[in-house]
Amino acid sequence: MAPTVAFGPEITAMATPFGTDGALDLAAAERVARWLVDQGSSAIVVTGSTGESATLSDDERATLWRVVAAAVDVPVIAGATTNDTAHSLRLVDAAERAGAKGILAVVPYYNRPPQAGLVRHFGQIARATSLPVLLYDVPARTGRRLEPETTRELARTSTNVVGLKDASGDLAAAAALVAEAPDGFVLYCGDDALVLPYLAIGAVGVVSVAGHWAGPLQRVMIEAARSGDWERARRLNAALEASYRFENQLAYPNPIPTKAMLAALGLAEPVCRSPLIDPTPTLIDEARSVLADLHAQADKEGIELRVKA
């Protein structure tokens, strides 16, 4: 029997706060994590793509997992894999020891392995841990698609491979996966802008970036869709469109806008690690404008939305 998946509908992929010296800001990490829970996050991904995992050392990752897990009472899902299987196994062990309650396992990037290589890679990761494993397909970042049949094979053969964060945007394939995957295997939308259509085909929720500032609206939208109130769900989705456009711009890809939002909320310094750039004052002003509009939309819907920590 597959492990129970208790991550809930509103998982937020947390940004990693840095100080002005570029070092981890652990006090801010605790502050952001608690803010996310206060805003309705049912679980938190730590050191995923939004967490700038590519520029974190192994020790920094483990420290973040431990600090955030101690700070909140929701599950921490560790972004604990790389494009090196052996390295991933070491990180997964460290995540389990640090108190993580799940593993987010991304498709290996740059190597572009064949599907058989993905089966071997993810299978080894699943066998190395007792934690539930969420696969993560994000071909725009990895250069390799996790094919639906590969996902189904992993779900059938590894009982703790319990779900998929799908950032491929392929709704037809996602719908087929929901229809054909084993009982208990769950689908999460990995792109905020597509969460409503993903819910329509059977996703259980979202792994969100906008959860940093729009969590209450997004969670109510998910609840409305899952209860069949599609009129309200569509209305709330429309209210979130400005957030979706803001969070990943051509000039400022994720997580740069998120760092601008954290600065606007008073939660963390507007600092990214190179080769990303820090958000500009203009981008932080844009974040404030998005927040003000979102607050007005939330008021219309009777949803409490704080815009300052």
Query: Would you please indicate which residues are annotated as catalytic (active-site) residues?
Result: 136, 165
Which residues, in sequence order, are CB contacts of 237 under 8 Å at separation 6+? 195, 196, 221
Query: Which residues fall within 8 angstroms of residue 178, CB to CB, at 6 or more apart?
Result: 187, 201, 202, 203
Residue 84 neighbours by CB under 8 Å, 6+ apart:
108
Task: Supply the DSSP symbol for 276.
Answer: S
Residue 45 assigned to a binding site: no
Residues 127, 99: contact at Cβ < 8 Å? no
Which pair of structure tokens corresponds to residue 96?
Answer: 């389990």
Single-letter amino acid code for the residue at 131: L
Class of residue 73 by CB neighbours under 10 A (exposed 0-12, middle 13-18, buried 19+): exposed
Preceding amide of 255 cis, omega within 30: yes
Location of structure tokens 């805003």: 39
* CA angle in degrees (0–180, nearest 5) for 41-42-48: 70
Hey, what are 259's tokens? Answer: 């760092």
**What CA–CA distance (Å, rounded) separates 128 from 121?**
11
Q: What angle do CA 40, 42, 45 make, to 5 degrees?
A: 110
Three-class SS of 8-46: CCEEEECCCCECCCCCECHHHHHHHHHHHHHCCCCEEEE
50 is in an annotated binding site: yes
Residue numbers belonging to the annotated binding site: 50, 207
